[in-house]
Amino acid sequence: MTIHIRFAEARDIDLIHGFILALADYERLAHAVRADKAVLAHHLFGPRPAAEVLIAEKDGAAAGFALFFHNFSTFEGRPGLYLEDLYVSPEARGAGIGRALFARLARIAVERDCARMEWAVLDWNSPAIAFYRSLGAEAMDEWTVNRLDGAALAALAGAPT
């Protein structure tokens, strides 16, 4: 068995979109997916890419992905790497693909002088939480994620809804 991790290209947009839909289904959030292939292509491979994607292949077949972008720590004075989504196909789980994706992300973070890697996990996803702990990750339980979107975002911006 061989695992290969590569950066996604524009030609991978169908694959990326499919992984996003599969992840949303697993997370019981399929109803929340609004992204279509055109929107993803624009924001991932357009003139100002907002994020990057890694594709994991097992024996030459796509098996998973990781979508990430850079944030910035004012306390550290350095960038960070934020992992938005990571997904491994059910039939490929247990083969080390998740670990390989995380190792590649860690190498990217080190190469780019990032102070840290961060991500969120749903509190009910105990297999993922156990996996993250096995990597040495620490829960940031004292922090609470906040979100402003939709009508509330538009209202605060003074934009018509």
Give yes or no for a contact between 81 and 48, defined as CB atoms under 8 angstroms apart: no
Which residues, in sequence order, are CB contacts of 96 under 8 Å at separation 6+?
3
Residue 26 is a catalytic residue: no
CB 82 within 8 A of CB 145: no
Contact call for residues 70 and 81 (beta carbons, < 8 A): yes
The structure tokens 């991500």 sit at: 119
Per the structure block, which two tokens stand in for 43? Answer: 């924001």
Q: Are strands 3-7 and 52-58 parallel, antiparallel or unpaired?
A: antiparallel
Q: Tell me how many helices (H) and strands (E) the chain has.
A: 5, 5
**Residues carrying an active site annotation:** 132
